[in-house]
Amino acid sequence: MNNIIRLSIVLALVTLVAAFVLAEIYSVTKPQIELQKLAKTQEALNIVLPDAEQIIPKTNKVPVKDSEGKTLYEKDVIAYYTAYSDADTTDIIGYAFKAEGNGYSSVIETMVGIDTTGLIKNIKIVSQKETPGLGDLSENDEPFTGKKWSTQQFRDKTLEALKVDKDGGEIVSITGATITSRTITNSIRDELKGMLTKIKEPNKPDMEN
C-alpha cells in the first residue's frame, strides 16, 4: 500500500513539472502561432486579389448548439472577403473565398479570388498534406504553358470549364495526382457556384447587404 502511494506521488510530481513547463511555453508561442496563421491568410489574399487596397472579411453568425439543440452562443465565421480599390470601401473590385475538399489523403484548402463578374482572378493553395513530393506539385504557380498543372491556369475560367481534363473540362491535372487535381477543381467549382448566387447582379455588388 505504502509503495503504491509512493509511486503515485513520484509520477504525479514528474507530470506536474512537465505540465508547468508546457503551459509556460504554450503561453509564449500561442500569440506567435496565431500571427503566423493570420500572415498566411493575408499573404494568400494578396496573391489572389493583387489590386485590392483594402480587404474586409464578411462574417456570418453561426450558432453553436449543445447536445439538446439549444443555442449556447453565436460564433463569427468568415464567409468570404470583399476587396475594395480604395481605402474608404466604396468601390468593390472583387471577392475572395476559401474552397475546401477532401483530397487523396488530406483536406485541401484553396483561397480563390474573383472579380465582380465572377471570373476567377487567381487561386492559391493554402494548405494540403497530400503525398509528400507529389502534393507539393499542386502549389506550382509558374506561368501556365498549357501542358503542366499550374495554379495560374484557373485564371478567367468560367464555371463550366472548371473540370479536370479527364472529366471533360479545361483544367490540366497533375501527372500522377488526378485525385488531388480533381478535388481542388471541384471544390472551387462548388464554392464558386454558391458565391455567384450571393453576388447575383454583377454590377450591383451592394446586393450582399
Partner 1 sequence: MSLLSEVIKGIYKENPVFRLALGLCPVLAVSTSIFNAIGMGAATTFVLLSSNIIVSLLILLFSKILSEQGQKSINKIRIPMFIVVIASFVTIVEMVMSAYFPALSESLGIFIPLIVVNCIILGRAEGFASKNPLIPSIADAIGMGIGFTLALVAIAFARELLGSGELLGINILGANFKPVLLMILPPGAFLVIGLYLALLNWLDLRKKA
The 3-state secondary structure of 56-75, one letter per residue: EEEEEEEEEECCCCCEEEEE
Residue 46, class by beta-carbon neighbours within 10 Å (0-12 exposed, 13-18 middle, 19+ buried)? Answer: middle
Q: Is 146 in the site for partner 1 (CB under 8 A)?
A: no
Taking residue 183's Cβ as centre, other Cβ atoms within 10 Å add up to 25
Interface with partner 1, residue 134, by CB under 8 A? yes
Which of 133, 143, 146, 168 lies at the binding interface for partner 1 (CB under 8 A)? 133
Single residue of 3, 67, 90, 203 touching partner 1 by CB under 8 A:
3
C-alpha–C-alpha distance, residues 198 and 180, integer Å? 27
Distance between CA 190 and CA 176 in Å, rounded? Answer: 24
Of 75 and 129, which CB lies nearer to partner 1 in the complex structure? 129
CB of 167 to partner 1, least distance (A): 22
**With binding defined as CB under 8 A, does residue 145 bind partner 1?**
no
129 binds partner 1, rule: CB under 8 A:
yes
Cβ of 52: how many Cβ atoms within 10 Å? 23
Find the shortest distance in angstroms from Cβ 144 to partner 1.
16
85 binding partner 1? (CB under 8 A): no
What kind and span of H or E run contains 21?
helix 2-48
CA distances from 97 to 56, 112, 123 (A): 11, 5, 10
Q: Which stretch binds partner 1 (CB under 8 A): 31-39, 68-76, 84-92, 114-122?
A: 31-39
Q: Decide: 115 and 108 in contact? Cβ < 8 Å.
A: no
* Candidate ranges 26-34, 91-99, 107-115, 185-193; the one touching partner 1 (CB under 8 A): 26-34
Binding site residues, partner 1, CB under 8 A: 3, 6-7, 10-11, 14-15, 18, 21-22, 25-26, 29, 32-33, 36, 40, 127, 129, 131-134, 175-176
